[in-house]
Amino acid sequence: MTPGDEGVNIDVILSRGNTTYYYVVAPLGKIQTVYDGAVINTVDKWKTLPESGLNADGTPVTDKLVTMPSSNDIMNPRYAGLEYKTGYGTYRAGTARISLTA
C-alpha cells in the first residue's frame, strides 16, 4: 500500500476468478483496526501488519485475527464524508494484481 496526499494505491492479489472485492480507504485512525488483539492506530503499528497475507508463522491471515473492521463494515460501509473512499470491483480471471486508487 502506498499512501499519498490525496489517495492511496493498493495492490490486491486475488487467487480465484469471479471475485468481487470491496474496499474502504480512510486516514489512519478514522476506522478502528484490530489485528490479533492489537489496536492498529499509529504508523508504526500499521507497519507490523502482514503485507503478504500470511502471518509470521506462514499461516494465512483470517477474519479470526482481523476483528475490526468486520467484513460487513467493508461490504456495507456506513462511513460518510470526503475523507472516506469506498468501492468495489470484479475480477473474472485467476491470480492478478489490481491497483485501486481512491
Using CA atoms, how far apart are residues 31 and 51, in angstroms rounded to an integer?
19
Check: CB of residue 71 under 8 Å from CB of residue 88.
no
SS (HEC) of 9-69: EEEEEECCCCEEEEEEECCCCCCCEEECCEEECCHHHHCCCCCCCECCCCCECCCCCEEEC
| CA atoms within a 13 Å half-sphere pointing along the CA-CB vector of 6 | 0
For the full predicted model, state whether its pTM sits above 0.75: no
| Tens digits of residue pLDDT in 2-44 | 665 566 677 766 777 788 888 888 888 888 888 888 898 888 9
Which residue from 97, 100, 13, 10 is spatially nearest to 54, judged by alpha carbons? 13
Q: What is the pLDDT of residues 48-66, one digit of tens each?
A: 888 777 777 888 777 677 7
Q: Is the separation of the CB atoms in 88 and 8 below 8 Å?
A: no
